[in-house]
Amino acid sequence: MKSEPALSDSNLPLLRGTRFALLFVTPNYPAVDVAHKGPMVSVHNSAGSPGLNSSCGSPKDERAPHAQWLESPKHRKLPGGKARRLFPRSAILAAILMLLPHASIAQTSPFTSSNLPIVVINTHGQTIPDDPKIEADMGIIDNGEGNRNNIGDPFNQFNGKIGIEIRGSSSQQFPKLQYGIETRDGSGNAVDVSLLGLPAENDWVLSANYADKSLMRNSLAYNLARSEGRYASRSKYFELVLNGEYQGVYVLFEKIKRTKSRLNISKLASTDVSGDAVTGGYIIKIDRVAIDDSGWYSLYKPYAGATNRTMYLFDYPKPADIVPAQALYIQNYVGTFERVMNSPDFANPTTGYQAYFDLSAAVDYVLLSEITKNVDDYRLSCFMFKERDSKGGKLTAGPAWDYDIAFGNADYYSAYDSAGWNITELPVTLATVDDAFPIPFWWPRLAQDSTFWNAAKERWITLRANQFSLSSIDHFIDSLASYVDEAQERNFERWPILGVHVFANWFVGSTYPQEVQFLKDWVAARVRWMDHNLLSDGTTHGVALNELQVDIDSLTARLDGPVAYIQWDTRSEFNALRFELERRYKFIDGRDTLWRTVASVAAADQGEAAHAYSCIDTLPGIGQFVYRLRIIGKDDQSMFSQETTVQRLLTDVPSSQVPVQFGLSQNFPNPFNPKTSITFSVPRETGVKIEVFNLLGERVTTLVDERKTAGLYTTSFDASSLASGVYLYRMVAGDFACTRKLVVLK
């Protein structure tokens, strides 16, 4: 047996690559003007205050080009002696192509307010590197759930110093970058603070989710991990303004760290070098190697003939802080675990791997890895920790990290396929191409143990009845999609990648609702595959499923005025509970709304007997409406029908009901206390915004901020919280703008 590598060999030789820069010109996103006031930055609307008169006009917006820099990826020597780019040549070519007009960042509308918190960062002209952090100022505007956050509002959640750097490896190829920040005091020292309601700490991640166009794969995976009772990062969504330019929707994540509010394991002091104290806690990881990383190689190749061995990296204590006795202890502990896993008696319940490796945590980690089918799991961003022996300290898989190309979002290594076990099939695929980041041999070895699979089966049954139920997962996805629905439009206006392939997309949706729906459909298909293969293989487990099977013969829709009549016929139904009719609206420019349930019909569930169904839906306006059926079955199963479309045109509506021009009527009653109504007309489909201001030009509230089809609308305004006086309300729709006065009299 090969001896363990000496501790002195644990540091990898790393090569620093040469940096180069591409200067390219993109239209500036002129959301805000920036004025420096002391140590912080004051931000306000670049268009200034709205006009305080009742004239209607077409405000123009001119934008100046700004220069931006793109740095090349580093070249690093990885295990096995191969020098590899962390980013492929295609990524560098993509950056060069950004010089072309069609690939530049889109010109967008001014960013003034959001239902999400707003984070403003000012680096005072410094370029943000990927290491080390530079000092900057950060302010957060968060007026609370249900309240608008305006770019001109004072910083009320955080206002202070941070250190900031670019983070990530392959994600650095994207124009929308993610950042690591450290909250600091005025002297530049790290200080624990609560950001957006999360527990106080000083290390945070600002995740860009560029390749994940649903904007939620990481949040979903971490939520599932927490539902298993495991620590995983909590998340908060916000919109980012960096150096005066709008950057889109971001997510605040907790960086994996040993602390009471995150991964709560024992703290290791430099003097903890013997006895129980030296046995924990440790955090190690399997990942790409960064400049300041160090660790040691696995004792065993992942497969016969492999070029590369797995490398274990120190995460806590950090390489600069861990003392030799501690490094030797955790290296020897993992080495003992590997030797046991490589032995013929590895599955012995007493002397086998369970004496060193936490089985229940391994089951949870594998089930999360498999439901997400994360192409990186088991081999990249793979964390493990060890608590002290006196606290049950076995090697433990987790916490979960990095799922932006999970849930069917990768176009390689069959990650897009909702079928198949990653733990057994991915190692074989990686071996065929001699991938630089193989899966450690002991993960597929674990899958040879029937005790592990029996535990996984029992755990899956429990999770599927609750946390992993499709209704629970769909609710989480729908809630997030609804929460970011307004902001995602600005995000994809800033970064126009809907309908565009971005590494490593398998599915490329032309709209945000399509991206969200693909995620939901993929998860449903994945769960059904795991149900069938984990629970009903007829051998080890033998748990039968009530399989949902519905054969729909036809689904049709016809219009009679504003009413749609939907009919469908089934040839057979097994284990069906109900049909939910879902509708979405297609805008003229091709964008979609999210799917919404508009009717529910009980299923006959008559086996092989045919059955006919019908229901009606009153259309909310004109345009193209798409319908489909979501069939809900027993045991939380579901499936979808094909879609059918109806279109109601302006010619289908009596001319007397279609406005011929934009209009904003005087509110009625006026004066009023406390409520009044405002009527406005829209002759064609467009975005409409109606806001109320005081006479100082300060925004009081936003009444309407959404896309409207042609029609006559009425909105109400409740001034209960306002003092008596004269106020202004302003409507902007395309090139139309109009301002009128209203009077609150109490």
Q: What percent of the chain clears pLDDT 70, i.e. is strictly above it?
A: 81
Which pLDDT score is estimated for 198? 98
Q: Please report, for the domain that includes residue 619, its CATH number.
A: 2.60.40.10
226 and 164 co-located in one domain: yes
As a whole-number percent, the residues of the chain with pLDDT over 90 amount to 65
- Taking only the tens place, the pLDDT of each residue in 57-86 is 333 333 222 222 223 233 333 333 333 333
Out of 405, 429, 448, a domain closes at 448
> What b/e sequence results for 697-730 when a residue is b if at least 16 CB atoms lie within 10 Å of its CB, and e otherwise?
eebbbebbbebbbbbebeeebebeebeeeebbbb
Residue that the structure tokens 């941070």 belong to: 162
DSSP secondary structure, 605-670, as one string: --BTS-EEEEEEEE-SSSEEEEEEEEEEEGGG-EEE---EEEEE-GGGS-GGGS-SS-EEPPPBSS
Look up residue 158 and give its two tokens.
């955080």
User: Measuring CA to CA, which residue among 296, 282, 525 is closest to residue 396?
Assistant: 282
Answer yes or no: do 307 and 429 share one domain.
yes
Instruction: Tell me: do 193 and 47 sit in the same domain.
Output: yes
Under the banding of pLDDT at 50, 70 and 90, the label for residue 607 is confident
pLDDT at 2 over 50: no
In the listed set 653, 686, 714, which residue is the last one of a domain according to the structure? 653
Compute, in degrees rounded to 10, the torsion defined by CA atoms 693, 699, 703, 704.
110
Answer yes or no: is pLDDT of 16 > 70: no
Residue 494 pLDDT greater than 90, yes or no: yes
**Both 158 and 98 in a single domain?**
yes
Confidence of residue 113 (pLDDT cuts 50, 70, 90): very high
Alpha-carbon distance 678 to 716, whole Å? 6
Q: Give the residue carrying structure tokens 């009845």.
A: 465
Confidence label for 591 from pLDDT (cuts 50, 70 and 90): low
Please give the Cα distance from 505 to 281 (Å, whole number): 38
Examine the domain organization and report whether 89 and 230 are in the same domain. yes
Going by C-alpha positions, the residue among 559, 168, 542, 192 that lies closest to residue 376 is 168
Looking at the predicted structure, is the pLDDT value of residue 105 above 80?
Answer: no
Is 1 within a domain? no
Task: State the residue range of the domain holding 416.
Answer: 275-448
Final residue before a domain boundary, out of 431, 448, 465 = 448
The pLDDT of residue 573: 86
Over residues 249-253, mean pLDDT: 98
pLDDT of 722 reads 93
Instruction: Please check whether residues 635 and 665 belong to one and the same domain.
Output: no
* 295 vs 314: CA distance, rounded Å: 6
Q: Is residue 110 part of a domain?
A: yes
d(CA 698, CA 647): 42
- Does some domain include residue 624? yes
More confident position, 146 or 332: 332
For residue 511, tell me if it sits in a domain. no
Do 237 and 94 fall into the same domain?
yes
Is 464 domain-assigned?
A: no
pLDDT digits (tens, 9 = 90+) for 634-647: 777 888 888 898 87
Same structural domain, 62 and 74? yes
Name, in order, each residue with C-beta under 8 angstroms of 422's C-beta and a sequence gap of 6 or more.
Answer: 369, 370, 373, 374, 375, 377, 378
CA gap 380, 664 in Å, rounded: 57
Whether residues 300 and 413 share a domain: the answer is yes
Distance CA 665, CA 216 (A): 41
pLDDT tens figures, 149-168: 999 999 999 999 999 999 98
pLDDT value, residue 500: 94
Query: Whole-model pTM above 0.75?
Result: no
Give the pLDDT mean for 597-622: 87
Is the pLDDT at 48 greater than 70? The verdict is no
Give the three-state DSSP class for 741. strand
The lowest-confidence range among 186-190, 348-352, 403-407, 602-606 is: 602-606
Residues 660 and 648 in one domain: no
Specify the CATH number for the domain of residue 708: 2.60.40.1930
**What is the pLDDT averaged over residues 525-531?**
90
Residue 208, SS3 per DSSP = coil
Q: Is residue 456 part of a domain?
A: no
The answer to whether 356 touches 337, Cβ cutoff 8 Å, is yes
pLDDT on residue 504: 92
pLDDT value at residue 563: 87
Sorting pLDDT into bands at 50, 70 and 90, what band is 407? very high
Residue type, 681: S
Is the same domain home to 649 and 661?
no
Range scoring the smallest mean pLDDT among 472-486, 489-503, 537-551 = 537-551
Count the domains in the chain: 4
> How would DSSP label each residue in 370-410?
HHHT-TTTTTSSEEEEE--GGGT--EEE------TT-TT--
Q: What average pLDDT does the chain have?
A: 83
pLDDT for the residue numbered 12: 30
Residue 489 domain flag: no
Please report the pLDDT score of residue 509 as a whole number: 93
The predicted pLDDT at position 106 comes to 53
In a domain, 364, yes or no: yes
In this model, does residue 7 exceed pLDDT 50?
no
CA proximity to 221, closest of 473, 532, 483: 473
- In angstroms, rounded to a whole number, what is the distance separating the alpha carbons of residues 173 and 157? 32
Separation in Å, CA 546 to CA 53, 501, 528, 549, 634: 67, 38, 11, 9, 7
Please name the amino acid found at residue 659: P
Please give the sequence-ordered ranges of beta strands (E in DSSP) within 173-234, or none if there are none. 179-184, 203-207
pLDDT at 535: 78
Question: What mean pLDDT comes out for the span 354-361?
Answer: 98
Residues 280, 199: one domain?
Answer: no
Q: Which residues contact 11 (CB under 8 A, 6 or more apart)?
A: 294, 319
pLDDT for 180 equals 97
Dihedrals phi, psi of 218, to nearest 5 degrees: -65, -45
Pairing of strands 21-27, 65-71: antiparallel
Between 443 and 623, name the one with better pLDDT.
443
CB 383 within 8 A of CB 283: yes
Please calculate the CA angle 422-427-433 and round it to the nearest 5 degrees: 125
